[in-house]
Each structure stands twice: as structure tokens, then as C-alpha cells.
Amino acid sequence: MTSAPPAPLHDPLPADHGPGRRPNAVAQAKRPVRALGALGPFLRPYRGRIALAGLFLLLAAATTLAFPVALRTLIDQGLVAAEPGARVLQLRDHFVALFAVGAALGVFSGARFYLVSWLGERITADLRNAVYAHVVAQSPEFFESTRTGEVLSRLTTDTTLVQTVVGSSLSLGLRNTLMGTGALVMLVVTNPWVMTQVLGILVLVVLPALYFGRSVRKLSRASQDRIADSSAIAAEVLNAVPIVQSYTQERREAGRFGSATEAAFDTARRRSRVRALLVAFIISATFGALLWGLYQGTQAVLAGRITAGHLGQTVVFIILFVGSVAALSEVYGDLQRAAGATERLMELLAARSPVHDPAQPQALPAVSAGSSVSLRDVVFHYPSRPRQPSLLHFTLDVKPGETVAIVGPSGAGKSTVFQLLLRFYDVQQGEVRIDGVPVARASLHALRSRVGIVPQDSVIFSTSALENIRYGRPEATDAEVHAAARAAYAHDFITALPEGYATYLGERGVRLSGGQRQRISIARAILKNPPLLLLDEATSALDAESERVVQAALETAMQDRTTLVIAHRLATVQRADRIVVMEAGEIVDIGTHAELIARGGLYARLAAMQFHHVGAA
């Protein structure tokens, strides 16, 4: 898994898929039922409703099959009574009986429709939720090889296909299977001689339909993949519209999206062509079968072998039967489409995060004055770059309450240290401990509850200022949120917003300045009040005033806890107890600002460059 190159969505397959990992597509195409069988666990909770829907389905099918029998009695008995008065009465009775059959059919069909549609909607909702919850819990490695737009497309278009199947095709299929079998049985019982011919037609129609169905499935999967491609492009570009426009790339981006949708159209067109061929073939075959049956029947009536009523009944059974076969082949196409979509969803569900909770998590000890951190001889490379270690024999101990600044050139591995402390990745060698417990032995929830992070690029959710800060501790009261905002020097600017704390901040906080976004992000971390704080100072230059408040906010945030800060500012490094200087994944020096400057090494050079403008200010 670690050495796999960045791969398309279907690659994060479960380990339990065995050595073959990705089953051959042709072999898969032979197993639509198996692919749909994966929906079993989603159907199981609704056994009662499914049984009820099945009951109504049976009743509706039985009523439909009773109809030709009632018709035969109507023709043979209602029309042949000797005396005209009695004939009228008998006819009326027959019509009442026919109406009763029709009304029952209506009620049963309505009930079945409601139950089955309900199931379709319910299962789609459950499936969406399950896939989403699963994807959200994946480690960053998953998102390195999966485009978010693609996941979104799976969540919408693929689940909609599944909904079509569960909410209609499946019941249509069952009903037609029942009706077709019922009609066939009735035909055998009422005229065994038609049987052989009908069976012959059945074979003729079903075999090619099965063949076509398979290619529909493959093409369907391909067209869903193309739709996912275009969604992925759209999601990426819509998130970067200002950049796209500033580089005047709108036309090119529209073109790129256009090619993806054209590719989707093209596979959909090919799929439709196969299905159209299927439909044309089935309708012709159905029609032929019907005429053949009729011809045989009329001959039999002329020869006096059967009554007119018998012929009428046979004709209706034949219509029912071939109608079912035709509907089934259509349903088969739908099932094949949904099987492709289900496979994709199941692959997403089967993706196992390489970082997961240990079987028996070790509890983290209670701490009062901040957490202790220890990295021992850590060797780490990102899964996608097995040959390029990002940390090499990295050893660092941080005492509770200490503030340690990490500095170093770009790409030195500073952020990587944070990633490992949050256990977004597991190390290949060495050990990372927080409060004496190896991070791999603690539960992810317990570990991450202990760590607060203020990233370089502040993340703002498209909700109010209040809710954005409350994200740090969802159960916090409004007063606690306000206190955190005050501590982060965010209270004044928030109250000056049009609706104060209730102001909607726009998607990704587009309605705030950079410094304001950072202070919201700091307030969030202060509210969480973690014993270990990881600060990634923003490199983007803020104006002097903004810089001053952000710095003040950060200083409040660092109080009474252990802080690791990726430092870009002179004020921060001067305040730190120790400064760790990193280069190419290794620690090259540790000391205070004065000590490191005095040594005149990498730090002195970095300081001369990086802190120059701050020192001057």
C-alpha cells in the first residue's frame, strides 16, 4: 500500500480483497447480483417493510393473474346465457367481479409503490450517510489519491442510481418475475400446447438480453466514472475561481470541464445505443410471439378445439407473459447500471484507513500544566514518496508548559512534525509519544482531543462567527465563545460585523480579512483549551497593526500549555524557551535565540533573512 503511486479512486481497496486486490473487470461484469448483494446490510434493518412490500407485490400479481380468468368467465358464461334478461344480470355480476379485481389491484399496487419507494429513498439516504461518514474518517493518505469532487459525485449520482434500483427497478423486476412465471404457469395449465412455443421465445429473448446487459453495466460504470471526473474538475476550479480569473483561464477551464462532460456523454451514448438495440430486439420479439400465439389460438377456435373465452384468456396471459419478459430485460439493464454504481460505492466503503484506533487503546494520563511530547529517533516518509524521508532520526523532548519554536527552510519537515503529533500518518521507525503514551497506542479521539492546532491557512466554515469559534468545543456556551474571542482579540471586530457573532462569514471565510480569519482560528483553539497547542504561524505578511493583534492573540493562546510553534516572526522565537532549527528532515541545532545567533549557523542566516523586516518594524 505504501509504495503505491497516487492512484484513482478505486485503488484504496480493502486489504481483505486478497492478493488480487482489484478484481478483473470482466470477471466482475459477470456478477451483477453479487455487486448488488453488497446492499444487503443496508436492506437488512428494513426486513419488516420489505416483507410487507413483498406481500403487496404478491397480492397485486395474483390479482392481475385473476383478471384473465374473470375475463374468460365473462365471455364464455356472461355472453352465452340462454335468456336475454338473465344474460344482462349475469353480465352485471361479471362486471362487478371484474371491477372488484381491478380495485384490489389498484389498492395493492399503491401500497406496494409507497413501500418500495420509501425503501429506495431510505436506503439511499443510509448509503449516502455511511459513505460520507466513512470518507470523513479517512487519513490524509486517502485524500492524496482521491479527488473530493469525485467523492461528491459518488455521493450524489451513484447513490441516485442505487435509489432507482431499490425504489423501482427491483420491485418492477420482482413483479414481472412473478407475473411472468404466473402467466407461464397459467398458460401451461390452460393450454399446454402453447408452452413449448412460448419457452422457445423466452430463450430467444432472454439470452441476447443477458449478453447486452453485461456491456450496459461496463459502459454504465464508465459513464459514471466520467461524470465523477467532471465533478472533480468542477470542485477544484470552483474553489479557485479568483486564481482562475486572474490568470484569465476561464475559457480553458470551461473547455477542460467540457471535454470531461463530452467524454461522459460519449460513454452514455454508447450505453444508450446498446440499450436501444436491446429494447428494439425485445419489442420485435415480443410482438412476434404475441402474433404467433394469436394465430395459433384463432386456428384452434376455428377448428373448435377451444372456446372464444379460452382464446381471450390465452391472449391476455401471453400479453402478460411477454410484457413481463420485455419489462424484465429493461430492468436487467437498470440492475446492471446500478451494479456498477454499487461497486464504486462499496469500494469507497471498503477503503481502510491505514491510521486507525488500536484494539485496546491506552488511556492518556491526566495533565494540568500542559502535555509532554517526545519524538525518539523518528524516521518518516510520506506514503507517496517512499524514497524521500521527510524526517530522519528526529529526536525531540518537550516538557509540559514549554514553548518550542521550530524554524528551518521551506520543506525542512516542520509541518511534518505536526502531522505526526496528530497521528495523521504513522512513522516507519522510532516512536512519537504524548504524555508518555505512544500515539499509536492511544485512541485517535483521545489523542486529538489533547491537541489544538492553528494552521497557517485558517479554515473558516460557511456559518456564523459564533459557530466557527464554537467548533473548538461544540458544547461551549455563548459566554465561553465570547471569552475565547476576547482572548484572541477577535471580539471587537466580530461585534462590529453587521450581525455581530451571528454574522455569516461566507464560504471559506471570504468575507473576512486574512488577519481576522487567523484570529477566529486562534479563538477556536483557545476555546478548545488543549494541553498541547500546535501553531503554524502564517507567513503571509499582515500589516503592522494586524500583525500586532495576531501576535497578541497567539501569546494568549500559548499561556498555560505546551506549545510547538512553526515560527516566522522574531517576537515568537524570542518568546520561545527553545528554538529547534531543522534542515532536510533533521535537527541541526537547538538553543535560545541569543545562543543560536551567537553560534552564527543556519539559524543566524535564516534570522537575518526572515526576521529582517520584523526587526526593522
Contacts of 10 (CB under 8 A, 6+ apart): 22, 344, 347
Contacts of 614 (CB under 8 A, 6+ apart): 569, 570, 571
Smallest gap, in angstroms, from Cβ of residue 382 to ligand ATP? Answer: 3
Smallest gap, in angstroms, from Cβ of residue 442 to ligand ATP? Answer: 23
Nearer to ligand ATP, 93 or 586 (CB): 586
Q: Identify whether the C-beta of residue 587 lies closer than 8 Å to the C-beta of residue 441.
A: no
Smallest gap, in angstroms, from Cβ of residue 584 to ligand ATP? Answer: 8
Instruction: Report if residue 610 touches ligand ATP, rule: CB under 6 A.
Output: no
In the DSSP assignment, the letter for residue 600 is T
Nearer to ligand ATP, 415 or 443 (CB): 415
| Single-letter code of the amino acid located at 125 | A
Smallest gap, in angstroms, from Cβ of residue 373 to ligand ATP? Answer: 16
Nearer to ligand ATP, 156 or 539 (CB): 539
Instruction: Report if residue 160 touches ligand ATP, rule: CB under 6 A.
Output: no
The only residue of 359, 360, 410, 498 in contact with ligand ATP, by rule CB under 6 A:
410
Contacts of 418 (CB under 8 A, 6+ apart): 453, 534, 536, 564, 566
Phi and psi at residue 121, to the nearest 5°: -65, -45
Nearer to ligand ATP, 95 or 143 (CB): 143
| Single-letter code of the amino acid located at 337 | R
CA distances from 139 to 134, 353, 354, 444 (A): 10, 6, 7, 11
Residue ranges of E strands in 104-260: none
Interacting span for ligand ATP (CB under 6 A) from 222-230, 406-414, 552-560, 570-578:
406-414
Instruction: Report if residue 414 touches ligand ATP, rule: CB under 6 A.
Output: yes
Instruction: Report if residue 424 touches ligand ATP, rule: CB under 6 A.
Output: no
Instruction: Report if residue 144 touches ligand ATP, rule: CB under 6 A.
Output: yes
Smallest gap, in angstroms, from Cβ of residue 400 to ligand ATP? Answer: 25
Q: How many CB atoms lie within 10 A of CB 79?
A: 13
Smallest gap, in angstroms, from Cβ of residue 483 to ligand ATP? Answer: 32
Residue ranges of E strands in 91-134: none
Grid cell in block for residue 197: 412455443
Smallest gap, in angstroms, from Cβ of residue 225 to ligand ATP? Answer: 25
Nearest to 209 by CA among 217, 221, 199, 220: 217
Nearer to ligand ATP, 5 or 18 (CB): 5
Smallest gap, in angstroms, from Cβ of residue 425 to ligand ATP? Answer: 8
Phi and psi at residue 582, to the nearest 5°: -115, 150
Nearest to 465 by CA among 523, 504, 416, 414: 504
3-state helix, strand, coil in the chain (%, to 5): 65, 10, 25
CA–CA dist 183, 268 (Å, integer): 35
Smallest gap, in angstroms, from Cβ of residue 31 to ligand ATP? Answer: 36
Q: How many CB atoms lie within 10 A of CB 598?
A: 12
The only residue of 408, 452, 472, 530 in contact with ligand ATP, by rule CB under 6 A:
408
Grid cell in block for residue 549: 493583534
Phi and psi at residue 533, to the nearest 5°: -115, 130
Nearest to 378 by CA among 390, 368, 362, 366: 390
Q: Identify whether the C-beta of residue 64 lies closer than 8 Å to the C-beta of residue 304.
A: no
Nearer to ligand ATP, 173 or 408 (CB): 408
Nearer to ligand ATP, 339 or 534 (CB): 534
CA–CA dist 122, 128 (Å, integer): 10
Q: How are beta strands 578-583 and 403-407 bridged, if at all? A: parallel
Interacting span for ligand ATP (CB under 6 A) from 366-374, 393-401, 405-413, 475-483:
405-413
Nearer to ligand ATP, 561 or 568 (CB): 568
Nearer to ligand ATP, 3 or 410 (CB): 410
Smallest gap, in angstroms, from Cβ of residue 515 to ligand ATP? Answer: 20
Number of amino acids touching ligand ATP (CB under 6 A):
13
Q: Distance between the two ends of the chain, CA-based, in angstroms? A: 50
Smallest gap, in angstroms, from Cβ of residue 273 to ligand ATP? Answer: 43
Smallest gap, in angstroms, from Cβ of residue 557 to ligand ATP? Answer: 20
Instruction: Report if residue 415 touches ligand ATP, rule: CB under 6 A.
Output: yes
Instruction: Report if residue 416 touches ligand ATP, rule: CB under 6 A.
Output: yes
The only residue of 23, 110, 411, 436 in contact with ligand ATP, by rule CB under 6 A:
411
Nearer to ligand ATP, 129 or 539 (CB): 539
Nearer to ligand ATP, 293 or 383 (CB): 383
Nearer to ligand ATP, 121 or 457 (CB): 457
Instruction: Report if residue 389 touches ligand ATP, rule: CB under 6 A.
Output: no
Instruction: Report if residue 457 touches ligand ATP, rule: CB under 6 A.
Output: no
CA–CA dist 611, 55 (Å, integer): 77
Instruction: Report if residue 390 touches ligand ATP, rule: CB under 6 A.
Output: yes
Specify the 3-state DSSP secondary structure of 28.
helix
In the DSSP assignment, the letter for residue 165 is I
Nearer to ligand ATP, 195 or 542 (CB): 542
Smallest gap, in angstroms, from Cβ of residue 416 to ligand ATP? Answer: 3
Interacting span for ligand ATP (CB under 6 A) from 61-69, 96-104, 316-324, 412-420:
412-420
Nearest to 331 by CA among 278, 396, 377: 278
Residue ranges of E strands in 427-487: 429-434, 437-438, 451-454
Q: Which of residues 359-388 bind ligand ATP (CB under 6 A)?
A: 382, 384-385
Smallest gap, in angstroms, from Cβ of residue 331 to ligand ATP? Answer: 45
Nearer to ligand ATP, 120 or 383 (CB): 383
Nearer to ligand ATP, 213 or 408 (CB): 408
- Site of grid cell 467523492: 151
Q: Identify whether the C-beta of residue 569 lies closer than 8 Å to the C-beta of residue 579.
A: no
Smallest gap, in angstroms, from Cβ of residue 115 to ligand ATP? Answer: 48
- The binding site for ligand ATP (CB under 6 A) comprises 144, 382, 384-385, 390, 408, 410-416
